[in-house]
Each structure stands twice: as C-alpha cells, then as structure tokens.
Chain A
Amino acid sequence: MHKLTCRVLGLLGFAFFFMTATAANLPSSAGFKQVQSLLAAQRYVSGNFTQIRKVTLLRAPLVSTGTFRLSEKSGLIWHTQHPIKSTLTLSATKLTQQIEGGPVTVFTQAKQPIVFAFTKVFLSVFQGNTSELLKYFTVTFTGDKHDWHMRCVPVMSPLDKAIRQITLTGANTVKQVIIADSKGNTQTIRFTQVQVR
C-alpha cells in the first residue's frame, strides 16, 4: 500500500550509495575517514552497472545492465541497455525518463511534488552534507580503504518502513550496493569499469 513512499525511498536508497560514504562521519575509524575523503573527492564518476532485483513470488531475478554517469553539474544519468533501452536523469528538481527512444517525460517539483518527496535529502546527500545524512541512517563501517563495507540502517520513519538496510562494498570506488527492503526483496547493483575524475 505504500508503493508511493516505497518508490521514493528507492530513489533515496539508490542515490544514497554513491554519496553516503562521502558524508557519513559517525564511524570514527581511520579507514572510514580515508574512504570518506576519497569518495568526497570524486566529482565525476562513470562506469557500467548490473542490477539484480530479487522479488518474492518471482521465480527468477530481474537483471538489467547498462552504464551510468554521476556529476555534480548534471546529476545522475542512468542508461539501461538491457532488457529495455531507457534513460533516466535525475537532478534536484527535475526527473526525466525516456524509453526506447520515445518521447522524454519530464517531472518537475512544481508539478509533481510527490515524486520529489526526498529530493531534499537526496540533495544533502549529494552535497555531502554529513550532519543532514546522519538524521536518516546509522552507519557501521568495517575494513580499510582497500576493502570496506558500510551498513546503513534507516533511523527514521517513513524510511525505516520501506528499507531494512543498505550495504555498500568498495575499495577506492564503490563496487556493490545492496538495498534490502522490509518485505524480503533485494536490489543488488554491481559496478564495473568505474572511472573517476
């Protein structure tokens, strides 16, 4: 019944994995701080992704592949190549989607405010606003800068109703993110050939 919130939360969860590490400052280990500053310096990230969605009641996982680009200037661009060619762009107040070369659908905050329910959080994440982020998640860090895990558990509602936890794994870049929802579904995104500028 909460699909509306769920979707928005999904958005947050996704956006989160790129930027949290740059932001979360709760864990005080030296490794965390190194990772934090490492990721904070990454202004432009691009690469390939594989997304694996495991959905209860479905026999097989839903797998999609494609490329992504994330920059401070133009936000996130998500090109899915397979199984459906599509592009999704996301910035603070604008979201666009284009499916198989069809017309571009634009959502703006003024016209569809609900779509942007978490834009503000997203933005603070984007800007590396650490104090902001810690209002939403408890972050546990293990490992060092060559191999690390970060577990983020939402602390506030309605986030905690939809997302159980988000796990990030990485080295000098994020390698994998797993978003587990409260209903037993998981969304795993693996990144390969990641380039940083």
Chain B
Amino acid sequence: MSRIGRLTVWLCVIAAMAITALMTHNTRWRLDTNLLDLLPKNQIDPGFSEATKRFTQQRSQQLIFLVGAKRQAQAIAAADLFAAKLKRTGAFNHINAAMSEKTQQAWGKFYFTHRAGLVSESDRILLQKGERAQLVRQALFALYGPMSVVSGKMLAHDPFFLFQRYMMSLHKPSAKVQLRQQHLMVQSKGQWYVLVTAATRDGAFSLSAQNLLVHEISQSISAVKLHWPAIRVLRTGVLFYAADGAHSARADITLISLGSIIGIILLMVWIFKGVGPLLLTLFSGGVGFVVAFVVTSAIFGKLFLLTLVFGASLIGIAVDYAFFYLSERHYGGVAWCAEQGLAMIFSGVTLGLLNILIAYAILLLTPFPALKQLACFSLVGLTMAYLTVVCVFPIVLKAYPLMPATVLERAFWRVAVFWRNARGRTVFFIVLVLASFNLVGIAQLKVNDSIKALQPMNPKLRVEQREIQKLTGNVFGLNALLVRAQSPTQVLARLHTLKEKLSQRFSSVPQPTMSVADYVPTLKSQQHAFEHINQLLYQKGLPAYLKKLGFDKTRQQVIATQLRDAKRPLLTLSSWLHAPVSTQLRFLWLGKIGKQYYTAMLLNQMLPLSQLREMINPIPYSYLMSQAATLSQLFGECRVNCLRLLGFVVMILCIAFCIRYGFAKAGLVLLPPLFGVGTSLGMLGYLGLPLTLFNTLALFIVLGIGCDYVLFFAETTGKPEATTLAVALSVLTTLLSFGLLVVSRTPVVALFGLTVAVGILTAALLAPLANRPHRRQGE
C-alpha cells in the first residue's frame, strides 16, 4: 500500500472513532467503582444479582456521623449546626440529627394505632397457650411494681400492659444509643456523642459528584470546628471508602501518566536532540489511549477503575513502535529513507503487535467483565498506536545526519555486545544461574486473593468505622441475606421463618439478625394474637379485672365495650414502609425485581460465615450476600484463570516462534520474555510478597513487552544499534512509569509496578540474545 493509501486508512479510522465519540458523548461515561460489576454475570442468579446491586446502592446512600463534645449541650449544638450545613448542600434525601417531639409522638402514635395484634414474643407464647392467669399476674406486677408509670387512660386502652411490653421488646439498630434532649446520643469516656444519620439523594455517583459531596461534608465539619474547635466528628459510610479508593486510584493514574510522559520527554529530547520525535511519540501513544477510551466506553458503557489504571500504563507499550522507527532513522544518517526504514522494522513491530493482540484476545474470552474490558482497551489502544506509526510516521519522518552516541546508547550497546560475543558456555551458565535463582524464589511464592489485600481500605476510615460501631453498639456487618418471594406478604413470612431459624441456630448471639420482620409481624400472626387477646382477656372476666384495678362500674362497661368491639387496623408492611417510623430502615426493602419482591436482612458480624453459608445455600429463596468473601473467591478464580491463560499464551508463542525461527533459535528468542516473567515471580517470592490477580495481569505486560523486545531484535534487518536504542528507550520509559507505581498508596498497585519493573528490566537485559544465532550464522 502506498504512503497516501495508508494515511487514508488511518484517517478513516480516526474519523470513524470521532463519529463514535460524538454519538455516545450524550450518555455521559461513568467510572465504575462497584466491585460487584467485576463478577461474571452468570455467576449468580440474575434476580439476586440485581437485588445485591440495589441493596448495595441503597446502603451506600447511608451515612453515619457521631458529633462528640465534652458537654452535652455543646454536642447537640454542634450536631444541629452540622446537620444544617449538610442540608444546605441539597445532596441528601434526609438528615436526622434531632428527633422532634412531634416525630417521637408520630412514632408512638403509629404503633399505638396498629396495636390490635402487636404483642411481644413472650406474650405471644402465653396467649397461644391460653395462660390467662400468668398474663394477669404480669399485669399486676407491672401495676404494683416500682418501675412502671401507670396512668388511667393508658390502663383503659391497654389494661394488660401488652402494648407496653411490645414496645419494650422492639429492636434497636444501635443498642447503646439513647434519646436525650430530642437527640440520639451516646455517652462514653467523658464525651457526649450525637448520632447524625443521612441518606444521600443519589446512589450511583459519578466520580466528580462523589468527590464534591465528600468535600462538602468535610467543609461542613470544618465549619462546625470553627465554632467549637474541640468537637470530634466521626464518620462512616460506603461513600467515604469509595471516594478514598477513587482518589488514590486517580493519584496513581496521574502519577503513572505524568511519570511516563516526563520520562519520555526527557529521554527523547536527550537522545534525538529535538522535539519533533517527542511529539510524534506522544501523538502515537495519545491516539492509542484516546481511541481505546472512546471505543471501550462505547462498548461497555462505563469504565472500571482497573481499566483506567491499566490503560494509563498502556502508553508505555504503545510508544515502543514509535521508538523502534525513530531509532531506525537515528542510525540511518542522511541517506535514510522513510519507506525503507519502515520496511526494516515492519515485521518486527507487526509481529510485536500480533503477539500482544493474541495475548489480549485470549483475555477477551474470559467471563470476567473487567478482564474483557481491559483486553478491549489494550487491543484497541495498541492497534491504533501501531497504525499511527505505520501510516502517519512515514509521511512526516525525514532523514537527518548521524549524531554522537549518548551514554545511554553506549551502555545498552555494551550489554548487546556482551551477549553477541559471549561464548555459548557463558550464556548457558548465566541462564542456569538465573533459572535456579528464579525457581528458588518461585518456590517461596505465596498467593493472596483476599479482597482486603486487593483493595485495602484506608486504615483511618476503618478505625473511625470501628469506633462508631463500638460507641453505638451496632453489631451488624457488611454481610446480609437477601430474601425473595412472589408477594410482599410471602417475603415477610419467609423473613420470619429465617429470623427464627437463625436465632435458634445461633442462640448465643444476642441479636443475630435485623430486618423488617423485627418491626412488622405477619398479618396472620397479628390476626391470631388479636383473636387470642379477645377470647382470653377481653371476652372473659374483663369487668371483674377492671373492677379489681379500681375502675367504677360505668367505666368498666365503657372500657370493656371499647376493647371488645374495636375494629382496629393491623400493621401492614406497606403502612410501615410508608410511615416515618421506617425512615432509617427503609433501605432494607428492595421492592420488586422482575416478578418477585426482595428484601435484605442484616447479619450480626459475630455469625460465622461458613456455618451461615451451610444453612442458607440449600434455601432457594435466600441468598447470602458476602461481598468480601465473594470477591476474594472471584479474584482467586480470576487469578487462576489468568495464570492458565498465561501458560496457554506461552504455549502458542512457543509454537509460533518455532514455526518462524526453527527450534534452536525459538529457544533463545523465548528466553528473555520467559525470564522476565520468571524473575518477577522469583522476586515476589524472595521479598515475601504475594501473587495476586493484579500482578498476574502484570505478568501479561511483562510477557508482551518482553516479546516485543526479542521480536525487534530477531526481526530487524537494520542496524542492531538501532534496535538496542529502541529497547533502551522503551525499557527506561516503562521503568519510569511502572517504577513510579511502586510508591503507590495502594499496596496492590505498588506490587503491580514492582512486578512489571523487575520483569521488563530482566527481559530487556536478556533481549539481545534473540539476535545471537542470527549473527553467528551471518559470520
């Protein structure tokens, strides 16, 4: 194809991409920080999958704050100010700092109105057994006991104290929180804390909205501290973790991008003594990145953070093709011709690209959305970078005179010369030493798939979360049960069944579960209770009992008639869900998904997960949602899959290389990339660092770039000095970018950087081996 033809192809591709970008730009692209989306779609039942998503989202809207001060009044004033500041942001559905008397009354009134069938668990049993005498004794105990406050009106409505006992038996999400001065408060170690809860308006955050909100919350806290410097504000919520994770990931992306770009700039200006080559290189890398971004967003809708981090590192590979071409020209002198130069490197870069395409195409076949996205991003990005070099560079590159070699060129050239001149025995010896060194390291390698290691939570946030849980007495962890049924009524019935089962199985745990069932009995059981009360207490001997209490005759009759004939509404799920009493617990109800209704049941964090799993797995209508465990398992599977694929890729490479180079040379060509991978693994083993999904992915990069290097050496028909320079430039830029990752705040990203850096350096130092037999034959 002619130069103009190639340029036309390139322009067409770019135009197509621009149109795609324009067409999809309305659906604003989102960054996906939800780890659950990494799950293969067919792994769990679609209904439960959606319910999990909904619940995670609803829970992630919940924020909890504790505003603490030495003096109670100060804590209250600070909490009120804080709540007012939060309200002003307009980002919240509700903010609860104070609980007005009106609200308290509304709560009491709500249950009072629906009291007809509401009884405590122990009373329910007594009623079922027909233990009238015991119920009367209990009432008298309350009546004559020192602790009850009794009023005539209350006795007229509830002469047997059934409703009072029901209210006392109601669960509280946070056992240690008490109502004081119309605020929910905790007192601990000389500090008063006011509980402030809030629910954000929006569950799904764009990265910027998330940051803005966290910023606004921080500002609200600062504003409160401006008034009272000694105020403590503790906070927790999924939002903070997400924002923190995104923040550190973004910092990493910035670091790696800036690192590679600055590294590239400095290197290129130094070696090529001009900005032209630099601009061309950045152009090829930039085109690759932008197009990859556009295409991946268009296909997947939203991008994983993982993809972006990985994608940023792609620049490092994408510029290799440019380096190769530019180095070729660098050593070509004034007689150099762009077309001939391209011909020299064409098979090298093309095979290099093909080899990486194969590797990523295989990743594309895995069921894991994240890997697919990553593979798509890499495939598109690298192809575009390659096309840019092949199609655009020949038009703009012109010959220039030879320049004196820099220190860098001489140093790398010395390595290349060493391999070229080394005797076969020396090479064999070095390979043997390196191989055994690697094997000893690999033997010590440990594996870690824990999500905690992969996405470590900011320890400061964790400490705050624990402190809040400890102070408020909230015992519920991140695990939850999802329950579904054809109708809300059935959901409620199933919840009650599960609640009972769990409290029997884990009787030593004070409050094993929390769900809607703790507040709403089934209509059936309310109906039963109502009938029992009527038969046992209201129809028989009521006047005598009322007389014993001391009501006069007319009152006895009025009360008895009232109690017997009352047509009171039972407590229904929907009335509870729509009443203010459920404001803070409504997120447990997930509504209708498909044809079924779903709800979530919180689990005490003391419950052993394995036993829970054993119990829940056989029940088809419930699903144990344990993010950490599920994700750890997922990452484990993903890692094993990746390792297998890596092995598969190596096998394919072996075959391909054997076909192209013959058995003997294929061995030498394969050595550098394989040793790159081996040394990375060995180094991890020696340093006691774990093998995770992330550094397994890093091995793909090592293998890919390592193969690029050997292919450049093996395929070049030009000067080996040019290839050496290209590899030197590539390895230095890669080291600069990935080497910088080592300082990342996220250990897993640091591990990723270390793996790539060690592997690439090894592969680069060994790469000239690929040139060896070829040269010998030529001699």
- Spell out A's residues near B (CB within 8 Å): 1-7, 9-11, 13-14, 51, 53, 55-60, 62, 64, 78, 80, 83-84, 86, 88, 90, 97, 99-100, 102, 105, 108-115, 117-118, 120, 135, 156-158, 161-162, 179, 181, 183, 185, 187, 189
Contact = CB atoms under 8 A, between A and B. Distances in A.
Contacts of B176: 113
B550 interface: yes
A83 B140 contact: yes
Given A1-B108, A4-B108, A4-B167, A58 B152 contact: yes
A7 B147 contact: yes
In the complex, which of the residues A14, A58, A60 has the most CB atoms of chain B within 10 Å of its own CB atom?
A: A58
A158 B105 CA distance: 11
B147 A14 contact: yes
Contacts of B566: none
Given A99-B137, A99-B138, A111 B149 contact: no
A57 B101 contact: no
B144 A62 contact: yes
B510 A108 contact: yes
Interface in B151-198: 151-156, 158, 163-164, 167-172, 175-176, 178-182, 187
B144 A11 contact: no
Nearest to A10: B149
B573 to A, nearest CB: 22
B622 interface: no
Contacts of B5: none
Contact of B151 (A56, A108, A117, A118): A56
Given A62-B144, A84-B140, A105-B122, A2 B108 contact: yes
Given A4-B168, A60-B550, A102 B152 contact: no
B9 interface: no
B104 interface: yes
B149 A7 contact: yes
A120 B187 contact: yes
A181 B148 CA distance: 11
A57 B155 contact: yes
A97 B511 CA distance: 21
B621 interface: no
10 smallest A-B Cβ distances: which pairs?
Answer: A57-B152, A110-B510, A58-B550, A1-B108, A113-B175, A10-B149, A64-B144, A4-B167, A56-B152, A6-B149
A86 B181 CA distance: 34
Contacts of A115: 168
Interface in B110-148: 112, 122, 134, 137-138, 140-141, 143-148
B143 A7 contact: no
Nearest to A159: B180
A65 to B, nearest CB: 9
29 contacts: A2-B105, A3-B154, A4-B164, A7-B148, A10-B146, A55-B150, A55-B151, A55-B152, A56-B153, A57-B551, A64-B144, A78-B145, A78-B146, A80-B144, A97-B141, A99-B138, A111-B510, A113-B171, A113-B473, A114-B169, A117-B178, A117-B179, A157-B101, A158-B104, A158-B182, A181-B149, A181-B151, A185-B152, A187-B146
B180 A156 contact: yes
Given A114-B172, A115-B168, A162-B149, 4 more contacts: A80-B141, A86-B145, A102-B134, A185-B151
Contacts of B644: none
B452 interface: no
A118 to B, nearest CB: 7
Contacts of A7: 147-149, 164, 168
Given A4-B168, A55-B550, A57-B555, A88 B146 contact: yes
In the complex, which of the residues A1, A9, A10, A11 has the most CB atoms of chain B within 10 Å of its own CB atom?
A: A1
A64 B141 CA distance: 10
B552 interface: yes
A84 B141 CA distance: 7
B22 to A, nearest CB: 59
A84 B137 contact: yes
B77 to A, nearest CB: 14
B656 interface: no
A60 B551 CA distance: 8
A166 to B, nearest CB: 12
A110 B163 contact: no
Given A3-B163, A4-B108, A58 B149 contact: no
Nearest to B107: A1
A20 to B, nearest CB: 16
Contacts of B109: 1
Nearest to A7: B148
B655 interface: no
In the complex, which of the residues B108, B150, B171 has the most CB atoms of chain A within 10 Å of its own CB atom?
A: B150
Contact of B144 (A57, A84, A117): A84
B549 A58 contact: yes
A181 to B, nearest CB: 6
Nearest to A117: B178
B101 A10 contact: no
Contact of B175 (A109, A118, A185): A109
Contact of B511 (A62, A111, A118): A111
Nearest to B178: A117
Given A102-B134, A117-B179, A11 B147 contact: yes
B746 interface: no
A110 B175 contact: yes
B148 A10 contact: yes
B680 interface: no
B146 A189 contact: yes
B355 interface: no
A112 B168 CA distance: 7
B181 A112 contact: no
A1 to B, nearest CB: 4
Interface in B69-113: 72, 101, 104-105, 108-109, 112
Contact of A114 (B72, B140, B167): B167
A135 B178 CA distance: 15
A176 to B, nearest CB: 14
A192 B430 CA distance: 100
B169 A112 contact: yes
Nearest to A97: B141
Interface in B502-561: 510-511, 549-552, 555
Contacts of A11: 147
In the complex, which of the residues A51, A53, A118 has the most CB atoms of chain B within 10 Å of its own CB atom?
A: A53
